Amino acid sequence: MGNPSKGTFNFNLTGHFGEGGGQKIFEMLFKNYCYIILCPLCLAFSENYYFNRKGLPKAMILLFMDLETTGLDPTRHRIIEIAMKAIDSTTGEMVGSYEAVVKQPYEVWEKRDSFSIEVNGFQWGEISQGVEEAEVGRQVVSLFSQWKIERGKAVYVCQNPAFDRSFFAQLVDLYTQERLKWPYHWLDFASMFWATQVARSLEERKELPKELSLSKDEIAKYYQLPPEKKPHRARNGVDHLILCYKALFQGARAEAVS
C-alpha cells in the first residue's frame, strides 16, 4: 500500500528570511533582470497576491515530487514509484507525505530501458508486488483533496518537471487534473539555481562560467551538501530536493541582506 503520513518539517520561510525577507530576495532578483530568464522563483512569489500586508509570503503549499519510471518515454514506459511531500511555505509544517511502488504488468517491464533501471535499482519482484496504478491514482486524488492542493494555493516543485509532469498524467489524466483545479505551474529547481547564478554574475559584473552543470548533485556540491543517496529512489529524490531548495533560499537570503 501507499504510505501517507504527516509530520513537521523545519522549513519556516519567516525564520530563514526575516521580516519581509522573501520579498527582498525577489526584489534583488528583479533588480538584476532575472525575469528575463523566466525564473520560476518569480512565478511563485513576485506578485503582490502572494504577500501579506507585512511583506511576508502568504501560505502556499509547496508540493515536492519525484517519480521513478521504466524509461524516458511516457508513450512507451510507465511509472514504477512516486514520492511526494507537501510543505506549508510559511509555517514550515509538513502537510503530508506519500510514497508508493506502482505495480506494472510484465509486458511493461519487458519494455524497460536498461539504463533507467540501473539508475533506480528496481527489480521485477518489487514492481510485481506494488500498488495497482489505478489505485495509486485514486489515493493521490484523495490526498490532494485532504491537503487542499488547489490552483493559486499550491505549486509543484521538481528537479525535472517536464519529465515528471508527463508521467504523472499516467496516474491522473490531464482533464481530471484540470477539472479538480490542480496547480498549473510546475517549478523547475534547476532554473531557480540558474537565476541565482545570473543574479550573482550581474551583481559582481562577471560573466557566467562557460560550463555550468544544473544536475541536482552538482547544485548540492555548490552548496556543500552531500549527493543524493543511491540508488535513485523517489523518496531519496524528494528529500534531497528539499535539502537543496532550502540551501538555495538561505543563499539568496544572505545575498539579499548583504
**Other Cβ atoms within 10 Å of 110 Cβ, number:** 9
d(CA 103, CA 171) in angstroms, rounded, equals 12
pLDDT, one tens digit per residue, over 70-105 is 999 999 999 999 999 999 988 878 999 999 999 999
Give residue 150's pLDDT: 95
pLDDT, one tens digit per residue, over 118-158 is 999 999 999 999 999 999 999 999 999 999 999 999 999 99
Give residue 252's pLDDT: 62
d(CA 80, CA 106) in angstroms, rounded, equals 12
**Other Cβ atoms within 10 Å of 237 Cβ, number:** 25
Whether 82 contacts 102, CB under 8 Å = yes
Stretch among 51-55, 147-151, 173-177, 216-220 having the lowest mean pLDDT: 51-55
Question: Mean pLDDT throughout 187-192?
Answer: 93
- CATH code of 5-257, in short, is 3.30.420.10
Mean pLDDT over all residues of the chain? 82
Write down how long the chain is: 258
Question: Mean pLDDT throughout 10-18?
Answer: 44
